[in-house]
Structure 1
Amino acid sequence: MTKVRQDAWSHEDDLLLAETVLRHVREGSTQLDAFEEVGDKLNRTGAACGFRWNAIVRKKYEQAIEIAKKQRKQRKRAEQQRVRNWQKPQFETPVVQPTVNFEERSQAAASSPKTLTMDDIISFLQNLQNHDRTSQKLIKENEALKHENERLQSKVNDLERQLEKLQKNHQIIEEDYQSLMGIMERARRMVAFQDQEDSSAPAFKMDKNGNLEKIAK
Protein backbone atom coordinates (compact mmCIF):
# COMPACT_ATOMS: atom_id res chain seq x y z
CA MET A 1 0.00 0.00 0.00
CA THR A 2 1.36 3.39 -1.00
CA LYS A 3 1.90 5.73 1.92
CA VAL A 4 0.35 9.08 0.93
CA ARG A 5 -0.55 10.72 4.21
CA GLN A 6 0.82 14.29 4.31
CA ASP A 7 -1.40 16.04 6.89
CA ALA A 8 -0.07 17.75 9.98
CA TRP A 9 1.40 15.71 12.83
CA SER A 10 -0.72 15.51 15.97
CA HIS A 11 0.53 15.26 19.55
CA GLU A 12 -0.45 11.58 19.58
CA ASP A 13 1.58 10.97 16.39
CA ASP A 14 4.67 12.63 17.92
CA LEU A 15 4.21 10.60 21.12
CA LEU A 16 3.99 7.34 19.16
CA LEU A 17 7.11 8.28 17.21
CA ALA A 18 9.07 9.09 20.39
CA GLU A 19 8.00 5.92 22.23
CA THR A 20 8.87 3.72 19.25
CA VAL A 21 12.31 5.29 18.69
CA LEU A 22 13.18 5.06 22.38
CA ARG A 23 12.15 1.41 22.47
CA HIS A 24 14.31 0.57 19.47
CA VAL A 25 17.28 2.42 20.96
CA ARG A 26 16.81 0.62 24.28
CA GLU A 27 16.62 -2.77 22.58
CA GLY A 28 19.68 -2.16 20.39
CA SER A 29 17.74 -1.74 17.15
CA THR A 30 18.05 1.17 14.68
CA GLN A 31 16.15 4.39 14.39
CA LEU A 32 15.52 3.53 10.73
CA ASP A 33 13.58 0.43 11.82
CA ALA A 34 11.65 2.59 14.26
CA PHE A 35 10.76 5.09 11.51
CA GLU A 36 9.52 2.28 9.27
CA GLU A 37 7.40 0.84 12.12
CA VAL A 38 5.80 4.23 12.84
CA GLY A 39 5.30 4.83 9.12
CA ASP A 40 3.35 1.58 8.81
CA LYS A 41 1.12 2.58 11.73
CA LEU A 42 0.51 6.18 10.56
CA ASN A 43 0.48 5.53 6.79
CA ARG A 44 3.53 7.76 6.34
CA THR A 45 6.90 7.11 4.76
CA GLY A 46 9.90 6.18 6.87
CA ALA A 47 11.70 9.25 5.50
CA ALA A 48 8.87 11.53 6.68
CA CYS A 49 9.01 9.97 10.15
CA GLY A 50 12.80 10.36 10.25
CA PHE A 51 12.62 14.02 9.24
CA ARG A 52 9.92 14.69 11.87
CA TRP A 53 12.05 13.02 14.56
CA ASN A 54 15.29 14.86 13.78
CA ALA A 55 13.70 18.26 13.08
CA ILE A 56 11.00 18.49 15.77
CA VAL A 57 10.57 15.63 18.23
CA ARG A 58 14.15 14.63 19.12
CA LYS A 59 14.98 17.87 20.97
CA LYS A 60 12.10 17.20 23.40
CA TYR A 61 13.47 13.78 24.40
CA GLU A 62 17.23 14.33 24.71
CA GLN A 63 17.28 13.14 28.33
CA ALA A 64 15.10 10.11 27.53
CA ILE A 65 17.43 9.19 24.65
CA GLU A 66 20.44 9.23 26.98
CA ILE A 67 18.61 7.00 29.45
CA ALA A 68 17.66 4.57 26.65
CA LYS A 69 21.30 4.45 25.50
CA LYS A 70 22.45 3.69 29.05
CA GLN A 71 19.88 0.92 29.30
CA ARG A 72 21.11 -0.51 26.00
CA LYS A 73 24.72 -0.49 27.29
CA GLN A 74 23.68 -2.11 30.55
CA ARG A 75 21.79 -4.76 28.65
CA LYS A 76 24.76 -5.47 26.40
CA ARG A 77 27.16 -5.64 29.36
CA ALA A 78 24.83 -8.04 31.15
CA GLU A 79 24.81 -10.34 28.13
CA GLN A 80 28.59 -10.21 27.87
CA GLN A 81 28.94 -10.92 31.57
CA ARG A 82 26.69 -13.95 31.25
CA VAL A 83 28.93 -15.26 28.46
CA ARG A 84 32.05 -14.76 30.60
CA ASN A 85 30.43 -16.71 33.42
CA TRP A 86 29.73 -19.69 31.25
CA GLN A 87 31.99 -22.68 31.61
CA LYS A 88 34.67 -23.62 29.09
CA PRO A 89 33.07 -25.25 26.02
CA GLN A 90 32.95 -29.04 26.01
CA PHE A 91 32.09 -30.37 22.61
CA GLU A 92 29.50 -33.07 23.02
CA THR A 93 27.37 -35.08 20.68
CA PRO A 94 24.81 -32.67 19.18
CA VAL A 95 21.34 -33.05 20.57
CA VAL A 96 18.28 -31.80 18.72
CA GLN A 97 16.67 -29.13 20.84
CA PRO A 98 13.83 -26.68 20.28
CA THR A 99 14.97 -23.45 18.58
CA VAL A 100 15.35 -20.56 21.03
CA ASN A 101 16.72 -17.07 20.55
CA PHE A 102 19.93 -15.72 22.04
CA GLU A 103 18.21 -13.84 24.87
CA GLU A 104 16.35 -16.96 26.04
CA ARG A 105 19.61 -18.93 26.06
CA SER A 106 21.33 -16.20 28.06
CA GLN A 107 18.57 -16.16 30.66
CA ALA A 108 18.62 -19.95 30.93
CA ALA A 109 22.39 -19.98 31.37
CA ALA A 110 22.19 -17.31 34.08
CA SER A 111 19.60 -19.23 36.08
CA SER A 112 21.27 -22.68 35.74
CA PRO A 113 24.80 -22.74 34.20
CA LYS A 114 25.19 -25.46 31.60
CA THR A 115 27.78 -26.61 29.12
CA LEU A 116 28.36 -24.06 26.34
CA THR A 117 27.66 -25.55 22.91
CA MET A 118 28.96 -24.56 19.49
CA ASP A 119 25.50 -23.28 18.56
CA ASP A 120 25.63 -20.89 21.51
CA ILE A 121 29.01 -19.51 20.40
CA ILE A 122 27.87 -19.06 16.79
CA SER A 123 24.65 -17.38 17.91
CA PHE A 124 26.53 -14.97 20.16
CA LEU A 125 29.03 -14.03 17.42
CA GLN A 126 26.22 -13.48 14.94
CA ASN A 127 24.47 -11.25 17.44
CA LEU A 128 27.60 -9.10 17.84
CA GLN A 129 27.97 -8.91 14.07
CA ASN A 130 24.37 -7.76 13.73
CA HIS A 131 25.03 -5.01 16.27
CA ASP A 132 27.96 -3.78 14.14
CA ARG A 133 25.83 -3.78 11.02
CA THR A 134 23.11 -1.92 12.87
CA SER A 135 25.56 0.77 13.97
CA GLN A 136 26.84 1.25 10.42
CA LYS A 137 23.29 1.42 9.11
CA LEU A 138 22.40 4.03 11.74
CA ILE A 139 25.42 6.15 10.82
CA LYS A 140 24.47 6.13 7.13
CA GLU A 141 20.89 6.98 7.99
CA ASN A 142 21.90 9.95 10.16
CA GLU A 143 24.23 11.22 7.42
CA ALA A 144 21.42 11.07 4.86
CA LEU A 145 19.07 12.97 7.16
CA LYS A 146 21.80 15.52 7.88
CA HIS A 147 22.30 16.18 4.16
CA GLU A 148 18.55 16.50 3.67
CA ASN A 149 18.31 19.04 6.51
CA GLU A 150 21.18 21.03 5.01
CA ARG A 151 19.49 21.05 1.60
CA LEU A 152 16.19 22.25 3.06
CA GLN A 153 17.95 24.93 5.12
CA SER A 154 19.74 26.18 1.99
CA LYS A 155 16.41 26.37 0.19
CA VAL A 156 14.88 28.34 3.07
CA ASN A 157 17.80 30.79 2.98
CA ASP A 158 17.31 31.32 -0.77
CA LEU A 159 13.61 31.99 -0.29
CA GLU A 160 14.36 34.47 2.49
CA ARG A 161 16.78 36.36 0.22
CA GLN A 162 14.19 36.46 -2.55
CA LEU A 163 11.57 37.77 -0.15
CA GLU A 164 13.92 40.50 1.09
CA LYS A 165 14.62 41.55 -2.51
CA LEU A 166 10.90 41.71 -3.32
CA GLN A 167 10.25 43.79 -0.22
CA LYS A 168 12.94 46.28 -1.24
CA ASN A 169 11.52 46.52 -4.77
CA HIS A 170 8.06 47.08 -3.35
CA GLN A 171 9.38 49.88 -1.14
CA ILE A 172 11.06 51.58 -4.13
CA ILE A 173 7.86 51.36 -6.19
CA GLU A 174 5.86 52.79 -3.29
CA GLU A 175 8.28 55.72 -2.93
CA ASP A 176 8.18 56.41 -6.71
CA TYR A 177 4.40 56.33 -6.61
CA GLN A 178 4.27 58.84 -3.76
CA SER A 179 6.69 61.13 -5.62
CA LEU A 180 4.55 60.94 -8.78
CA MET A 181 1.42 61.77 -6.82
CA GLY A 182 3.20 64.81 -5.33
CA ILE A 183 4.24 66.05 -8.78
CA MET A 184 0.70 65.63 -10.12
CA GLU A 185 -0.73 67.49 -7.14
CA ARG A 186 1.67 70.43 -7.66
CA ALA A 187 0.83 70.52 -11.36
CA ARG A 188 -2.89 70.59 -10.61
CA ARG A 189 -2.43 73.49 -8.20
CA MET A 190 -0.36 75.44 -10.74
CA VAL A 191 -3.08 75.01 -13.42
CA ALA A 192 -5.78 76.10 -11.00
CA PHE A 193 -3.71 79.14 -9.97
CA GLN A 194 -3.09 80.07 -13.63
CA ASP A 195 -6.80 79.88 -14.42
CA GLN A 196 -7.53 82.11 -11.44
CA GLU A 197 -5.03 84.73 -12.61
CA ASP A 198 -6.43 84.71 -16.15
CA SER A 199 -9.97 85.22 -14.89
CA SER A 200 -8.99 88.17 -12.67
CA ALA A 201 -7.05 90.13 -15.34
CA PRO A 202 -8.94 93.21 -16.82
CA ALA A 203 -10.34 92.90 -20.36
CA PHE A 204 -10.05 95.66 -23.02
CA LYS A 205 -11.60 96.38 -26.40
CA MET A 206 -10.86 98.90 -29.10
CA ASP A 207 -13.47 101.63 -29.92
CA LYS A 208 -14.14 103.06 -33.36
CA ASN A 209 -11.48 105.70 -32.91
CA GLY A 210 -8.78 103.12 -32.20
CA ASN A 211 -8.65 103.70 -28.45
CA LEU A 212 -8.66 100.88 -25.88
CA GLU A 213 -11.40 100.91 -23.34
CA LYS A 214 -11.81 98.61 -20.34
CA ILE A 215 -14.67 96.20 -20.47
CA ALA A 216 -16.70 96.05 -17.31
CA LYS A 217 -17.23 92.53 -15.91
Structure 2
Amino acid sequence: MTAIRQDAWSPDDDLILAEVTLRHIREGSTQLAAFEEVGERIGRTSAACGFRWNSCVRKRYEDAIQIAKQQRQKRNYLKKQTVVATPHVSSIAVFETDERGLRQEGGSIEEGLSVDAVIRFLRGWKTTYQDLTRQTKWYEKELKEKEEELYRLRDQNERLSKEVNSAQTDYRTVNDDYKTLIQIMDRARRLTVLTNDDEAKPRFKMDANGNLERIE
Protein backbone atom coordinates (compact mmCIF):
# COMPACT_ATOMS: atom_id res chain seq x y z
CA MET A 1 0.00 0.00 0.00
CA THR A 2 1.35 3.40 -0.95
CA ALA A 3 2.09 5.71 1.97
CA ILE A 4 0.19 8.98 1.88
CA ARG A 5 2.49 11.95 2.26
CA GLN A 6 1.34 15.10 4.01
CA ASP A 7 4.33 17.33 3.23
CA ALA A 8 4.41 20.02 0.58
CA TRP A 9 5.31 19.32 -3.03
CA SER A 10 8.99 19.75 -3.80
CA PRO A 11 10.43 20.84 -7.18
CA ASP A 12 11.63 17.24 -7.72
CA ASP A 13 8.09 15.92 -7.16
CA ASP A 14 6.72 18.41 -9.69
CA LEU A 15 9.42 17.40 -12.19
CA ILE A 16 8.61 13.69 -11.83
CA LEU A 17 4.91 14.45 -12.24
CA ALA A 18 5.57 16.45 -15.41
CA GLU A 19 7.95 13.91 -16.97
CA VAL A 20 5.68 10.91 -16.36
CA THR A 21 2.52 12.70 -17.48
CA LEU A 22 4.16 13.96 -20.68
CA ARG A 23 5.45 10.45 -21.40
CA HIS A 24 1.97 8.99 -21.03
CA ILE A 25 0.54 11.66 -23.32
CA ARG A 26 3.28 11.01 -25.87
CA GLU A 27 2.68 7.24 -25.77
CA GLY A 28 -1.10 7.57 -26.07
CA SER A 29 -1.85 6.63 -22.47
CA THR A 30 -4.17 8.46 -20.04
CA GLN A 31 -3.36 11.04 -17.45
CA LEU A 32 -5.05 8.87 -14.82
CA ALA A 33 -2.51 6.13 -15.47
CA ALA A 34 0.24 8.72 -15.24
CA PHE A 35 -1.07 9.97 -11.89
CA GLU A 36 -1.16 6.41 -10.54
CA GLU A 37 2.43 5.79 -11.64
CA VAL A 38 3.61 9.07 -10.09
CA GLY A 39 1.72 8.29 -6.89
CA GLU A 40 3.53 4.94 -6.62
CA ARG A 41 6.90 6.61 -7.18
CA ILE A 42 6.61 9.51 -4.75
CA GLY A 43 4.23 8.06 -2.19
CA ARG A 44 1.11 10.10 -2.92
CA THR A 45 -2.42 9.29 -4.01
CA SER A 46 -3.34 9.51 -7.68
CA ALA A 47 -5.99 12.07 -6.73
CA ALA A 48 -3.36 14.28 -5.10
CA CYS A 49 -1.18 13.97 -8.19
CA GLY A 50 -4.09 14.86 -10.46
CA PHE A 51 -4.99 17.85 -8.34
CA ARG A 52 -1.38 19.06 -8.35
CA TRP A 53 -1.09 18.64 -12.13
CA ASN A 54 -4.31 20.48 -12.99
CA SER A 55 -3.91 23.26 -10.41
CA CYS A 56 -0.22 24.08 -10.75
CA VAL A 57 2.17 22.00 -12.85
CA ARG A 58 0.19 21.85 -16.09
CA LYS A 59 0.33 25.62 -16.57
CA ARG A 60 4.13 25.51 -16.74
CA TYR A 61 4.21 22.82 -19.44
CA GLU A 62 1.62 23.98 -21.97
CA ASP A 63 4.16 24.01 -24.82
CA ALA A 64 5.54 20.60 -23.83
CA ILE A 65 2.01 19.15 -23.77
CA GLN A 66 1.38 20.34 -27.32
CA ILE A 67 4.68 18.80 -28.45
CA ALA A 68 3.81 15.51 -26.72
CA LYS A 69 0.43 15.43 -28.48
CA GLN A 70 2.12 16.05 -31.85
CA GLN A 71 4.57 13.23 -31.15
CA ARG A 72 1.65 10.95 -30.29
CA GLN A 73 -0.07 11.78 -33.57
CA LYS A 74 3.15 11.18 -35.48
CA ARG A 75 3.66 7.89 -33.66
CA ASN A 76 0.17 6.70 -34.58
CA TYR A 77 0.63 7.82 -38.17
CA LEU A 78 3.89 5.87 -38.51
CA LYS A 79 2.19 2.78 -37.13
CA LYS A 80 -0.54 3.04 -39.74
CA GLN A 81 2.01 3.61 -42.50
CA THR A 82 3.93 0.52 -41.42
CA VAL A 83 0.82 -1.62 -41.72
CA VAL A 84 -0.05 -0.20 -45.15
CA ALA A 85 3.52 -0.73 -46.46
CA THR A 86 3.45 -4.52 -45.82
CA PRO A 87 0.78 -5.95 -48.18
CA HIS A 88 2.36 -9.41 -48.07
CA VAL A 89 1.34 -9.83 -44.45
CA SER A 90 -1.67 -12.03 -44.13
CA SER A 91 -4.96 -10.69 -42.90
CA ILE A 92 -4.44 -12.52 -39.63
CA ALA A 93 -1.05 -10.86 -39.12
CA VAL A 94 -2.54 -7.45 -39.95
CA PHE A 95 -5.32 -8.09 -37.49
CA GLU A 96 -2.83 -9.11 -34.83
CA THR A 97 -0.71 -6.02 -35.55
CA ASP A 98 -3.73 -3.75 -35.32
CA GLU A 99 -4.83 -5.51 -32.18
CA ARG A 100 -1.41 -5.04 -30.57
CA GLY A 101 -1.44 -1.40 -31.60
CA LEU A 102 -4.86 -0.95 -30.10
CA ARG A 103 -3.69 -2.63 -26.94
CA GLN A 104 -0.70 -0.31 -26.76
CA GLU A 105 -2.75 2.78 -27.56
CA GLY A 106 -5.90 1.89 -25.70
CA GLY A 107 -4.64 -0.37 -22.94
CA SER A 108 -4.20 2.51 -20.56
CA ILE A 109 -7.60 3.88 -21.56
CA GLU A 110 -9.28 0.57 -20.77
CA GLU A 111 -7.38 0.38 -17.52
CA GLY A 112 -8.23 4.00 -16.76
CA LEU A 113 -11.92 3.36 -17.45
CA SER A 114 -12.10 0.08 -15.55
CA VAL A 115 -14.18 -0.12 -12.40
CA ASP A 116 -11.15 -0.88 -10.22
CA ALA A 117 -9.28 2.16 -11.54
CA VAL A 118 -12.29 4.39 -10.94
CA ILE A 119 -12.67 3.00 -7.43
CA ARG A 120 -8.98 3.62 -6.71
CA PHE A 121 -9.31 7.12 -8.07
CA LEU A 122 -12.39 7.85 -5.95
CA ARG A 123 -10.72 6.39 -2.87
CA GLY A 124 -7.76 8.64 -3.48
CA TRP A 125 -10.06 11.63 -3.77
CA LYS A 126 -11.83 10.54 -0.60
CA THR A 127 -8.53 10.44 1.26
CA THR A 128 -7.58 13.83 -0.12
CA TYR A 129 -10.99 15.21 0.85
CA GLN A 130 -10.63 13.82 4.36
CA ASP A 131 -7.18 15.39 4.65
CA LEU A 132 -8.52 18.73 3.44
CA THR A 133 -11.45 18.46 5.88
CA ARG A 134 -9.09 17.85 8.78
CA GLN A 135 -6.92 20.76 7.72
CA THR A 136 -9.98 22.98 7.40
CA LYS A 137 -11.15 22.07 10.91
CA TRP A 138 -7.67 22.70 12.26
CA TYR A 139 -7.56 26.11 10.56
CA GLU A 140 -11.04 26.94 11.89
CA LYS A 141 -9.95 25.99 15.40
CA GLU A 142 -6.77 28.04 15.10
CA LEU A 143 -8.77 30.99 13.73
CA LYS A 144 -11.17 30.79 16.67
CA GLU A 145 -8.26 30.74 19.13
CA LYS A 146 -6.68 33.74 17.39
CA GLU A 147 -9.97 35.63 17.51
CA GLU A 148 -10.32 34.89 21.24
CA GLU A 149 -6.73 36.00 21.81
CA LEU A 150 -7.38 39.17 19.79
CA TYR A 151 -10.48 39.93 21.87
CA ARG A 152 -8.50 39.35 25.08
CA LEU A 153 -5.68 41.62 23.90
CA ARG A 154 -8.15 44.33 22.90
CA ASP A 155 -9.78 44.14 26.33
CA GLN A 156 -6.36 44.27 28.00
CA ASN A 157 -5.33 47.20 25.82
CA GLU A 158 -8.50 49.10 26.72
CA ARG A 159 -7.94 48.42 30.41
CA LEU A 160 -4.31 49.53 30.24
CA SER A 161 -5.31 52.67 28.34
CA LYS A 162 -7.72 53.56 31.14
CA GLU A 163 -4.99 52.93 33.71
CA VAL A 164 -2.56 55.12 31.76
CA ASN A 165 -5.13 57.93 31.52
CA SER A 166 -5.84 57.64 35.24
CA ALA A 167 -2.11 57.68 36.03
CA GLN A 168 -1.64 60.76 33.83
CA THR A 169 -4.50 62.51 35.64
CA ASP A 170 -2.99 61.63 39.03
CA TYR A 171 0.40 62.84 37.84
CA ARG A 172 -1.02 66.18 36.75
CA THR A 173 -2.82 66.54 40.09
CA VAL A 174 0.32 65.70 42.09
CA ASN A 175 2.37 68.00 39.89
CA ASP A 176 -0.07 70.86 40.47
CA ASP A 177 -0.04 70.21 44.22
CA TYR A 178 3.75 70.11 44.18
CA LYS A 179 3.92 73.46 42.37
CA THR A 180 1.46 74.97 44.84
CA LEU A 181 3.49 73.65 47.76
CA ILE A 182 6.67 75.11 46.28
CA GLN A 183 4.97 78.47 45.86
CA ILE A 184 3.74 78.39 49.49
CA MET A 185 7.19 77.43 50.76
CA ASP A 186 8.82 80.18 48.69
CA ARG A 187 6.34 82.77 49.96
CA ALA A 188 6.90 81.66 53.56
CA ARG A 189 10.65 81.90 53.07
CA ARG A 190 10.36 85.45 51.76
CA LEU A 191 8.10 86.42 54.69
CA THR A 192 10.62 84.99 57.13
CA VAL A 193 13.46 86.98 55.57
CA LEU A 194 11.42 90.19 55.67
CA THR A 195 10.47 89.62 59.31
CA ASN A 196 14.07 89.05 60.33
CA ASP A 197 15.15 92.21 58.47
CA ASP A 198 12.53 94.31 60.28
CA GLU A 199 13.68 93.02 63.67
CA ALA A 200 17.33 93.72 62.97
CA LYS A 201 16.92 97.34 61.85
CA PRO A 202 16.73 100.03 64.66
CA ARG A 203 13.79 102.46 64.56
CA PHE A 204 14.08 106.19 65.43
CA LYS A 205 11.72 109.10 66.09
CA MET A 206 12.32 112.82 66.19
CA ASP A 207 11.80 114.73 69.54
CA ALA A 208 10.52 118.28 69.96
CA ASN A 209 14.01 119.72 69.59
CA GLY A 210 14.60 118.01 66.23
CA ASN A 211 16.85 115.31 67.65
CA LEU A 212 16.48 111.60 66.64
CA GLU A 213 15.65 109.31 69.45
CA ARG A 214 15.92 105.51 69.12
CA ILE A 215 12.82 103.58 69.80
CA GLU A 216 13.35 100.23 71.56
Aligned to 2:90: 116
Q: Comparing both structures, which one devotes a greater share of its residues to helix? A: 2
Q: Which amino acid aligns with 2:91?
A: T
Rate the CA distance shift 1:45–1:120 in 2: closer, same or farther, 3 A. Answer: farther
Residues 25, 31 of structure 1: 8 Å contact kept: yes
Aligned to 2:44: 45
Displacement after TM superposition at 1:19 (Å)? 1.8
Deviations 1:101-138 (A, max 9, x none): xxxxxxxxx3x541332243155246437745644627
Higher relative contact order (CA 8 A, sep 6+): 2
In structure 1, runs of 5+ residues without a counterpart are 86-109, 201-217
Aligned to 1:183: 162
TM-score, with normalisation over the residues of structure 1?
0.51
CA distance in structure 2 between the aligned counterparts of 1:134 and 1:57, rounded to whole angstroms: 22
CA distance in structure 2 between the aligned counterparts of 1:172 and 1:41, rounded to whole angstroms: 48
Displacement after TM superposition at 1:46 (Å)? 4.6
CA distance in structure 1 between the aligned counterparts of 2:140 and 2:28, rounded to whole angstroms: 44
Matched, 1:70 2:70: yes
Residues 30, 138 of structure 1: 8 Å contact kept: no
Q: Which amino acid aligns with 1:175?
A: R
Q: Secondary structure at the match of 1:29?
A: coil
Rate the CA distance shift 1:13–1:162 in 2: closer, same or farther, 3 A. Answer: closer
CA distance in structure 2 between the aligned counterparts of 1:153 and 1:9, rounded to whole angstroms: 15
Aligned to 1:26: 26
Computing the radius of gyration from Cα coordinates, the structure with the larger value is 2
Rate the CA distance shift 1:76–1:46 in 2: closer, same or farther, 3 A. Answer: farther
CA distance in structure 2 between the aligned counterparts of 1:56 and 1:31, rounded to whole angstroms: 15
CA distance in structure 2 between the aligned counterparts of 1:38 and 1:155, rounded to whole angstroms: 24
Q: Which amino acid aligns with 1:176?
A: D
Displacement after TM superposition at 1:28 (Å)? 1.0
Number of matched pairs: 169
How do 1:36-185 and structure 2 match up within 5 A?
36-42=36-42, 44-47=43-46, 48-83=48-83, 85=84, 110=85, 112-125=86-99, 127-128=101-102, 131-132=105-106, 134-135=108-109, 137=112, 151=129, 169-185=148-164
Q: Which amino acid aligns with 1:184?
A: E
CA distance in structure 2 between the aligned counterparts of 1:177 and 1:5, rounded to whole angstroms: 42
Q: What's the % identity of the aligned pairs?
A: 35
CA distance in structure 1 between the aligned counterparts of 2:152 and 2:55, rounded to whole angstroms: 39
Displacement after TM superposition at 1:164 (Å)? 6.3
CA distance in structure 1 between the aligned counterparts of 2:106 and 2:32, rounded to whole angstroms: 15
- Computed over aligned residues only, the root mean square deviation of the Cα atoms, in angstroms, reads 4.6
In structure 2, runs of 5+ residues without a counterpart are 182-216
CA distance in structure 1 between the aligned counterparts of 2:151 and 2:57, rounded to whole angstroms: 42
CA distance in structure 1 between the aligned counterparts of 2:146 and 2:23, rounded to whole angstroms: 48
